Chain A
């Protein structure tokens, strides 16, 4: 027995937690990760499609920022993704797993479209916009509040509940699309109020994108201040860290959960309003385009820092715009762009492991002691 155990060796790789890594180092690591990801992407481009990676990267850049129109599209997409990320952030900071962003946005969009269709010709422009806005915000808030109330009162699992609410929203909107479709049998609602443009966000230049960007900037600043300096923001942090501590100092956990989800859902509804009234002028079941889920990633990647979220959203939107550009100009499948994006995100998330842990191999740990 003793002989056997003598053969055993030190494990090849050992991990230890890094206690205090300073900001400069961690950001250097992250920058290196992006460079490494671009190199791996480059190799894949050369090996699989036999092209020059720099051509591809250049085209991607042109796809996102090539013309002023493209810059505005990128900025609009960035704003919408950022807005949804910001909407989800207070819930996640409170450790409430809101997977229902997609449905909350969709319900906001639905409420907006409803108002445009039924009130479009009866109310004056500014009043109509206000009614649409309120409807979208209220419906979005209700959609988020339902799982929150169930969680607070009966302890239901919010992950499943919010996720299922997405499908309810999709089915509901699908029903109304059939009801509203133009022409009958097409399965599409088409551009709403194309002639009168009633209920459309006002144009600045050739579209409403600058207005969307401006509004999102306001919400971003507001959320940053709310989370960092307000009493509510403090309560959210405490509930997220420890519900027992919150109870101990007299914070009503149920109240904070419901209140925060109302806020979260309201901002998602707001995003739905911007999409229908400011950008698409129509409604589809896929109008949120997965941003309700992508926003979760943005929020966590930024570790709930509202300012860092701008960078994360930019990266993801840039890759998306670039990917469709290389698909059209090089005749590559759009999935190829997704592969490149996937690799970059893999590296960005993976580097967090190396920021938190130090890896020793058998040799190097020996050296350290010498």
Chain B
């Protein structure tokens, strides 16, 4: 067994360059990966981590530079080539056949005899499974599996093909803290068996916990590599961002808290008739940030959309909005977006799908400001002056980097797109501000800008709802955290005393067999929004 100290090079990258059009994703990157180590590849969104690893996995071909495997130059032009060099990658978006079992997916595309000897194959796979301590039922169909089980299948698939070098792209992004722990155990076992593991991530705590060395990329450039033992969270952040960053969220104690929206017995069906929300009750209070945690698809989207007037609710549901001026309560169920607006209720909503729902990608900032106000004023024509001034104000205040306010927003970076959206929603002077995955895909600085904006709104007395996936942030930013599990409320905790493990357990409190149903629906769903994929 080799150790990192032996410094035997498994893969060596020399001057690797990759461009997409005018964008340089990787510029002249040279680095070594040692045999039997766990290497973290760290960098912000868009820093080129995934692109670099895709070149090892045969998804992209480099424009310039060389790759050496075991000291010999390797030309990797397809995933098959990569397997020939014993390199396997587990992508962020799983590539499995849903109606096949785990074992069938694992052997799919492998050479073999005409007739499948299922018993022998199962025994063979079982051996790999036991060696590293995976927990998996090999006969289970993929559509019945949770995200973490699917990931396990992907990993076994790669191991079974004899990969010595495993690349995992953001493997913990979709896992609960407990599942993450299990994954780390398996990864350590693989390292003990001499495999080399590269894990792409931007989560610092995991980097420190798991890896031997950390390589850092910034804006397509290679910054350097450090031994994890010598690194700290702040030293790594500095390498990632290029300057010192204050990583504290300024959380003030809520003052003058008032009930704004009382949600009671809210039940919604999704378009396949399954209960996306099941008897949900809670209160949004002005002057505090209410976090909403849950694994993907636990009902977060339907919850926000029901409040915003975009999702039909079942009989018996109630969403009461309290008008602060006269204390009247208004029932929001049965009202659509325009009804709510016409009642004078200022409700701002930053949806998860920024360019597909919150904004129009082909319009500039001005056109997107108009989205909320085009219908104002009399006459049949739109007015251009007010939205232009608003766009300029947001550009200056939130430091949106754009050639001009008419440049289509789809050409802006993810962070700037989000600033445009959040800026517009805040300009409505909302009573209630709902955000879904507000920092997904954003760089660290922009993320903190967003956290500060949300905290400022809270201080103004706005009821802020923050649907998030990073449990650390939820615990640091919010005042209370509502946990959803399969459409039901599985807990409401005080963020100041909550722990990640506690939230993780609540998130999977009612795990049942209907995971299968959700995944069948996903198969039927052709308009599911595309994930934020890294360029």
A residues with CB within 8 A of B: 1-2, 5-6, 8, 10, 16-20, 229-235, 237-238, 241-242, 244-245, 247-250, 358, 365, 369
Cα–Cα, bound, A250→B84 (Å): 54
Instruction: Kindly specify which of B89-97, B374-382, B460-468 makes contact with the partner chain.
Output: B374-382
A231 and B363 form a contact (CB under 8 A): no
B362 and A241 form a contact (CB under 8 A): yes
List residues of B (474-521) whose CB comes within 8 Å of A's CBs. none
Supply 5 further A-B pairs (C-beta < 8 A) apart from A242-B355, A242-B356, A242-B360.
Answer: A5-B75, A17-B21, A230-B380, A231-B374, A245-B371
B residues with CB within 8 A of A: 17, 19-23, 61, 63-64, 72-77, 81, 84-85, 308, 310, 336-338, 341, 349, 351, 353, 355-363, 367, 370-372, 374-375, 380-382, 411
Instruction: State whether A8 and B75 are in contact (beta carbons under 8 Å apart), knowing that A231-B375, A234-B370, A248-B358 are contacts in the complex.
Output: yes
A369 and B64 form a contact (CB under 8 A): yes
Choice from A17, A231, A242 contacting B381 with Cβ under 8 Å:
A231
A248 and B337 form a contact (CB under 8 A): yes
Can you list 16 residue pairs at the A/B interface with Cβ under 8 Å? Answer: A1-B84, A2-B85, A6-B75, A8-B75, A17-B21, A230-B381, A241-B360, A242-B361, A245-B360, A248-B337, A248-B349, A248-B358, A249-B371, A249-B372, A250-B336, A250-B338
A5 and B357 form a contact (CB under 8 A): no
Give the Cβ gap from B400 to chain A, nearest Cβ, in Å.
Answer: 18
A245 and B358 form a contact (CB under 8 A): yes
A229 and B381 form a contact (CB under 8 A): yes
B337 and A2 form a contact (CB under 8 A): no
Q: Which residues of A contact B23 (CB under 8 A)?
A: 19
Give the Cβ gap from A155 to chain B, nearest Cβ, in Å.
Answer: 12
Q: Which residues of A contact B310 (CB under 8 A)?
A: 247-248
B382 and A231 form a contact (CB under 8 A): yes
B337 and A249 form a contact (CB under 8 A): yes
A248 and B351 form a contact (CB under 8 A): yes
Give the Cβ gap from B343 to chain A, nearest Cβ, in Å.
Answer: 12
B63 and A365 form a contact (CB under 8 A): yes
Closest to B381 in A: A229
B356 and A244 form a contact (CB under 8 A): yes
A245 and B370 form a contact (CB under 8 A): no
A2 and B381 form a contact (CB under 8 A): no
B380 and A231 form a contact (CB under 8 A): yes
Q: Which residues of A contact B75 (CB under 8 A)?
A: 5-6, 8
Instruction: State whether A237 and B360 are in contact (beta carbons under 8 Å apart), knowing that A2-B72, A10-B61, A249-B372 are contacts in the complex.
Output: yes
A241 and B363 form a contact (CB under 8 A): yes
Choice from A1, A16, A229 contacting B21 with Cβ under 8 Å:
A16
Chain A interface mostly helix, strand, loop or mixed?
A: helix
6 closest pairs, A vs B, by CB?
Answer: A250-B337, A250-B338, A244-B357, A241-B360, A1-B84, A17-B21
A245 and B22 form a contact (CB under 8 A): no
Closest to A233 in B: B382
Closest to B84 in A: A1
Give the Cβ gap from B450 to chain A, nearest Cβ, in Å.
Answer: 19
Choice from B63, B77, B381, B382 contacting A5 with Cβ under 8 Å:
B77
Cα–Cα, bound, A1→B85 (Å): 9
Q: Which residues of B contact A244 (CB under 8 A)?
A: 353, 356-357
A232 and B76 form a contact (CB under 8 A): no
Q: Which residues of A contact B84 (CB under 8 A)?
A: 1-2, 5
Q: Which residues of B contact A233 (CB under 8 A)?
A: 382
Q: Which residues of B contact A232 (CB under 8 A)?
A: 380
Q: Which residues of A contact B77 (CB under 8 A)?
A: 5, 8
B356 and A369 form a contact (CB under 8 A): no
Closest to B362 in A: A241
Instruction: State whether A245 and B356 are in contact (beta carbons under 8 Å apart), knowing that A5-B77, A250-B336 are contacts in the complex.
Output: yes
Give the Cβ gap from B471 to chain A, nearest Cβ, in Å.
Answer: 28
Cα–Cα, bound, A236→B76 (Å): 47
B21 and A250 form a contact (CB under 8 A): no
Closest to B77 in A: A8
Give the Cβ gap from B412 to chain A, nearest Cβ, in Å.
Answer: 13
Give the Cβ gap from B433 to chain A, nearest Cβ, in Å.
Answer: 15
A234 and B374 form a contact (CB under 8 A): yes
Cα–Cα, bound, A17→B81 (Å): 27
Give the Cβ gap from B483 to chain A, nearest Cβ, in Å.
Answer: 26
Choice from A17, A229, A241, A248 contacting B382 with Cβ under 8 Å:
A229
Cα–Cα, bound, A6→B67 (Å): 12
A250 and B381 form a contact (CB under 8 A): no
A238 and B380 form a contact (CB under 8 A): no
Give the Cβ gap from A290 to chain B, nearest Cβ, in Å.
Answer: 31
Q: Which residues of B contact A241 (CB under 8 A)?
A: 360-363
Q: Which residues of A contact B370 (CB under 8 A)?
A: 234
Instruction: State whether A248 and B357 are in contact (beta carbons under 8 Å apart), knowing that A8-B75, A19-B21, A369-B64 are contacts in the complex.
Output: yes
A245 and B382 form a contact (CB under 8 A): no
Cα–Cα, bound, A225→B419 (Å): 31
Closest to B379 in A: A231
A237 and B363 form a contact (CB under 8 A): yes
Give the Cβ gap from B17 to chain A, nearest Cβ, in Å.
Answer: 8
Closest to A232 in B: B380
Closest to B58 in A: A5
Give the Cβ gap from A236 to chain B, nearest Cβ, in Å.
Answer: 12
Cα–Cα, bound, A10→B61 (Å): 9
Q: Which residues of B contact A20 (CB under 8 A)?
A: 22
Cα–Cα, bound, A242→B357 (Å): 7
Cα–Cα, bound, A354→B349 (Å): 40
Q: Which residues of A contact B411 (CB under 8 A)?
A: 19
A238 and B371 form a contact (CB under 8 A): yes
Q: Which residues of A contact B74 (CB under 8 A)?
A: 2, 5
**Residue picked from A232, A234, A237, most chain B C-beta under 10 Å:** A234
Cα–Cα, bound, A285→B196 (Å): 73
Choice from B19, B63, B73, B359 contacting A245 with Cβ under 8 Å:
B359
Q: Which residues of B contact A238 (CB under 8 A)?
A: 360, 371
Give the Cβ gap from A90 to chain B, nearest Cβ, in Å.
Answer: 15
Cα–Cα, bound, A230→B377 (Å): 12
Cα–Cα, bound, A365→B17 (Å): 13
Q: Which residues of B contact A1 (CB under 8 A)?
A: 84
Q: Which residues of A contact B374 (CB under 8 A)?
A: 231, 234-235
Q: Which residues of A contact B73 (CB under 8 A)?
A: 6
Q: Which residues of B contact A369 (CB under 8 A)?
A: 17, 63-64
Q: Which residues of A contact B362 (CB under 8 A)?
A: 241
Q: Which residues of A contact B81 (CB under 8 A)?
A: 5
Q: Which residues of B contact A18 (CB under 8 A)?
A: 21
Closest to B339 in A: A250
A16 and B372 form a contact (CB under 8 A): no
Give the Cβ gap from B12 to chain A, nearest Cβ, in Å.
Answer: 15
Cα–Cα, bound, A230→B362 (Å): 18
Cα–Cα, bound, A95→B393 (Å): 33
